Amino acid sequence: MSLARALLCAALLNWFGCVAAGEPGVTDNRILIGMTAPFSGPNGAYGLDMKGVIQAYFRQINEAGGIHGRTLELRAFDDGYETERAVANSKNLIGQEGVFALLASYGSSPTTAAMNEAFGPAKVPLVGTISGADSLRRPPRESPNNRYMFNVRASYANETEAIVDHLASLGITSIAVVYQNDGFGKSGLDGVVNALKKYRLVPSAVATIERNSVDVAQAVQQIARVNPQAVIMVTLYKPTAAFVRGMKNANQLPQFMTLSPVGADLLVEELGDQARGIGISQVMPSPWNDTKPLVHDYQKLLGPQGKPSYYGLEAYAMARVLVDALRKSGRELTREKLVSALESMTNHDMGGYRVSYSANERLGSRFVDLTVIGAGGRILH
């Protein structure tokens, strides 16, 4: 081979290599996706369930040939449901690890901070988070960082409105609120307050519990003082369980209601028979009812020994949205093409569950289902 021809070949190889490496996280045969969520601490069970489902789905996609010939790889970091760690993880995943996009974040305060300090400014899309906070649903024209946040679930306003409407239909007017003292809890409290206005009501009492804490004594005292007919708990499963126990020990038996992030199966495990009668709003179809194609596919992914859960199904839905958008983006993959593909998903049906985006809408879904924990921990609709 002549020197000129050798130099030409080297230049072409270098050019193709640059093209393949031009977009972070994308090579000729791989797409690297990042995730930050709690895998340890009081809420570690949530994140571990989500990560396991996503990894299983990525394996399924890869075994079927990948996305336009590229395999999917998940790089997942533990943030312990702490805001500063979630932001640091997001920056590390984008800067040091060089991921192409983010998937399945967890928590209102951690995700909002990461959006404003990490993936929003870096123009890296995040598909899905376990949060219904309004801060993550603002139109991109009002908040540019929100352009890169694609929600897959309904908002806390949707959930709390469904709960309040249900309680009002039963003639219940004395409704107290206990909430987690962070973005999740405050967003839920705002939703309850706004929903009550429709009935010219205000909360009969309000109390807080600190994040990652099960110190509920003061909250129980404050709520029990007014003897409410119902209590809406904007808390996760461990503080929820502790609060319910505390109220029952105080001879308080209101109608307990809580929101989807609580994790119905984990609450049942934590409370046992004392969970019976607790109402829970859900933002996913029942993970045990395989009449919906999305649920059927999720159960098939888990296999006969799998344990379906609302968190697992939501993680599956998030991953499905991302994969569908990656396929729509084509072989010449860029982050902007991914954003455009997601924005083109208007009324996108994944098999009995729909999400919808546009250039200025990031709501994702408004689906809410009310359930109650029955005998033996069964989730009843």
Q: Output the pLDDT for position 10.
A: 46
User: Would the CA dihedral through 92, 95, 96, 100 be positive or negative?
Assistant: positive
Reported pTM: 0.91
**Tokens 């075994």 label which residue?**
63
Mean pLDDT, residues 5-10: 46
10 Å Cβ neighbour count for 16? 11
CA distance 115 to 53: 24
φ, ψ (nearest 5 deg) of residue 101? -150, 170
Checking phi first, is residue 374 left (phi over 0); if not, alpha (psi -120 to 50) or beta? beta
CA distance 360 to 376: 45
Evaluate if residue 8 carries a pLDDT over 70: no
What CATH number labels 8-154+291-364?
A: 3.40.50.2300
Evaluate if residue 20 carries a pLDDT over 90: no
- Average per-residue pLDDT for the chain: 94
Q: Output the pLDDT for position 147.
A: 98
Mean pLDDT, residues 175-203: 96
Contact by Cβ (8 Å): 152, 229: no
- pLDDT tens string 321-348: 999 999 999 999 999 999 999 999 999 9
For the chain, what are the domain ranges?
8-154+291-364, 156-282
Beta bridge partners of 356: 364
Q: Output the pLDDT for position 5.
A: 52
Ordered alpha helix ranges (H), the chain: 3-20, 44-63, 83-95, 108-114, 156-169, 183-197, 217-224, 237-249, 264-271, 293-302, 310-329, 335-343
Q: Output the pLDDT for position 2.
A: 52
The angle at the Cα of 38, spanning 259 to 115, to the nearest 5 degrees, equals 80
DSSP symbol at 18: H
Nearest-CA neighbor of 116 among 183, 175, 194?
183
**Tokens 């105080």 label which residue?**
250
Mean pLDDT, residues 14-26: 60
What CATH number labels 156-282?
A: 3.40.50.2300
% of residues, the chain, pLDDT over 90: 92
Strands laid side by side in the 348-349 sheet: 348-349, 354-358, 361-364
pLDDT band, residue 381 (cuts 50/70/90): confident
The overall longest dimension of the chain from CA atoms, in Å, is 92
Mean pLDDT, residues 31-35: 98
CA distance 318 to 126: 10
10 Å Cβ neighbour count for 55? 17
Parallel, antiparallel, or unpaired: how do β-strands 369-373 and 279-282 relate? antiparallel
% of residues, the chain, pLDDT over 70: 94
pLDDT band, residue 317 (cuts 50/70/90): very high
- pLDDT tens string 39-64: 999 899 999 999 999 999 999 999 99
Q: Output the pLDDT for position 6.
A: 45
DSSP sequence for 186-200: HHHHHHHHHHHHTTT
User: Would the CA dihedral through 302, 308, 312, 316 be positive or negative?
Assistant: positive
